[in-house]
Structure 1
Amino acid sequence: MHLEKRLPRNGKEGLLYGTIISTLTVLFMTSFSVIIAEGEFNVGILMEILKVLPIIWIIVMIIEPTIFGRIAEALVAKFTKPTDSFNAKILFRILFTVLGMSAAMTFIGDIVGNGFSTEVFSNWIQNWPRNFVIVLIAESLIIQPIARFAMVKLHESQDGKAPVEVEEVVPEVQNN
């Protein structure tokens, strides 16, 4: 049986994989959103980013696997066939996860950063399309490949430590 080296094989690896993706996405999008909102980057902005990063990261680590990850998996199962390629399934998974997470985090991020007000709704309408496209590109081209590379390296390391099974070769007797 061929084991997929690019994806987690158990819950512990799944946590590592999700943590890599979530951390890189939160770091990228929180920084991007704060810098866009403030219009500049300086030490004060950096401190603001560092204050909200842990809060946003915890929120993402809770809602992705419990809500949007499950929805994305169900949609991938609905829109793909078992014979579809790895890349097709991954792209659908990224699309569905980013769709849900960007919608939720555009809303939640605005509340965390600015507090709750009626402007949150108008800000969401204005900011979500931009956030969706940016995260979709970042996840597809940079963040997910980094996480899959980490899984490949982890599995190569594990496979190198596993005992090697040697098949006994029995010579065939030729009848002449």
Structure 2
Amino acid sequence: MHEETRLPRNGKEFILFLAIISILSVNIIAPIIMGYQFGFSKDVYLDTLKVIPFVWICVVLLVTLVANPLVTKLNQKFTEPTDGFNARILFTILFSVTILSILLTIIGSWIGTRQMSLNLIRTFLYNWPRNFFIAFWFETLIAQPAARFTMKKLHASQARKTINV
């Protein structure tokens, strides 16, 4: 998959790819989840905006330190070298969203409410499926395609520069 133009090829491109996905996701998914949790109102939205930078830092750390290593191992177990790009990407999204939604249902709530409450763990089985559903479809239909489109355009631009030189 390293020759694939829709995926990052080096560390700088990975940072751009991660930034696109995480910024889109945190700025859209967090307000939706907080709206379902506490009601859709201007006050809830403004409170969400106050914690988004902290949630974003948490997301980036969780993706790089927890999710990516686990997703890589899971993809090796569940995909074959002959599987197509879309199958691999769908498994990647499924595993990433599952891991992150489990962790962020708890950690994100702690950040959002500014307290570590065991009540959030008691309501986990109610909140997590909703959070997973929202995140999975947003990642599948918006964030991941936007990041892959950006990578494809970046690689096409790099190829044009190489040909012109």
The TM-score with structure 2 as length reference comes to 0.93
Measure how far apart 1:73 and its partner are. 1.0
Unaligned runs of 5+ in 2: none
Q: Distance in 1 between matches of 2:34 and 2:138?
A: 17
Query: Aligned to 2:68, what secondary structure does the other structure show?
Result: helix
Partner of 1:122: 122
- Higher RCO (CA 8 Å, separation ≥ 6 residues): 2
Partner of 2:44: 45
Aligned: 1:65 with 2:50: no
Aligned: 1:160 with 2:160: yes
Aligned: 1:136 with 2:136: yes
Partner of 2:18: 18
Q: Distance in 2 between matches of 1:92 and 1:158?
A: 28
Partner of 2:74: 75
Unaligned runs of 5+ in 1: 166-176
Larger radius of gyration: 1
Aligned AA (1:38): F
Partner of 1:93: 92
Measure how far apart 1:164 and its partner are. 5.2
Query: Aligned to 2:9, what secondary structure does the other structure show?
Result: coil
Aligned length: 163
Q: Distance in 1 between matches of 2:18 and 2:56?
A: 11
Partner of 1:6: 6
Whether the 8 Å contact between 2:97 and 2:132 is mirrored in structure 1 is: yes
RMSD between aligned residues: 1.5
Query: Aligned to 2:23, what secondary structure does the other structure show?
Result: helix
The percent identity for this pair of structures is: 42
Measure how far apart 1:122 and its partner are. 1.7
Q: Distance in 2 between matches of 1:109 and 1:123?
A: 14
Aligned AA (1:111): W
The TM-score with structure 1 as length reference comes to 0.87
Query: Aligned to 1:162, what secondary structure does the other structure show?
Result: helix
